[in-house]
Structure 1
């Protein structure tokens, strides 16, 4: 038999919970969970947009900074033969607005690698004659050229040498490759021949010619 007091308590408990009360609480909880989820997603989206904006701004600043230190290395050939005078020179100039670090250079004649100027002379002259030719030279590989700096990689007044080099270069037998980098390690590779060549192209890193490097 039920205790009268227990019956009274059960009656009071039922009286305190309105009809449909549990369903209302559940709906309220679901609404709260929905808005919390929506706010969380909005926060993630806002954070993603902010991160993207920060990265874009950082890249734009880097590109702007890189443009202020952009090197541009040109190679110029100067040559003439007139009466009893002759001259041939190969000049390297940084025409950009930032320092250029000269990394690698390679010189080919008829597709064959030549490693120094003495070997180049021997390609145009008798080996014994080539040994007696007087010329001036400057190291290029490993140098840092400031904006506006120039250096003469090779120069000679020997007529036979000048004529030999003119003939080979303007016949398209000679190809010169060189690679240089900015202070941010942005690098460019250029390949030139008698009729010039394309603009230096960006590369991830300079090629390593090793034993085939031109030793100026």
Structure 2
């Protein structure tokens, strides 16, 4: 009778070696897929920023996607003095403005839109009103990762973009 221990048997050594190589290969493949997915998400990460610009006779808001991928803007909310508004014309000093739609649109990487442009002599009045204006945008990446941004430009991750109908900015 053969008294060789089972783990010293050459066939078992080959089998255990094959098992170890298979496990290392499986873990390497899983980690590689994880890294590839993270890289793919990072390569199309949107980053929306809200800014304003003004001069002696001009005022405007800019919305820029400074990220690496497209941003799908799902909604916009604008409030003035803690009341949600539907259009810029709901604010008295914005009686003669050029408007562009900002909610429900796709903003390509490095693209800027101007949802509001004013030219005239009421810039001082508009700057006073500007301090009472709050702007909130909710946007998602192509991987359905979503963020909410306000004028502080600090994106907060959210599960999905949802807003009450009465709060939506319709312009």
Does the alignment reach a TM-score above 0.5? yes
What are structure 2's unaligned runs of at least 5 residues? 1-5, 7-14
Tell me the equivalent position of 2:119: 157
TM-score by length of 2: 0.78
What is the distance in 1 between the residues matched to 2:149 and 2:97? 25
Of 53, 62, 65 in structure 2, the residue corresponding to residue 94 of structure 1 is 65
Matched residue SS, 2:62: strand
Q: Which structure is higher in helix share?
A: 1
What are structure 1's unaligned runs of at least 5 residues? 1-31, 33-38
Map Cα deviations across residues 152-174 of structure 1 (whole Å, 9 max, x no partner).
101111323x323201324xx22
Q: 8 Å contact 2:76–2:169 — kept in the other structure?
A: yes
CA RMSD of aligned residues (A): 2.7
Change (3 A) 1:142 1:167: same
What is the distance in 2 between the residues matched to 1:136 and 1:211? 24
TM-score by length of 1: 0.63
Of 109, 122, 137 in structure 1, the residue corresponding to residue 80 of structure 2 is 109
Q: Which has the higher contact order (CA 8 A, sep 6+)?
A: 2
How far does residue 58 in structure 1 lie from its aligned partner after superposition?
Answer: 2.5
Of 80, 92, 97 in structure 2, the residue corresponding to residue 135 of structure 1 is 97
Q: Which structure is higher in strand share?
A: 2
Tell me the equivalent position of 1:188: 147
Matched, 1:169 2:140: no
Q: How does 1:45-84 map to 2 (within 5 A)?
A: 54-80=29-55, 82=56
Change (3 A) 1:105 1:46: farther
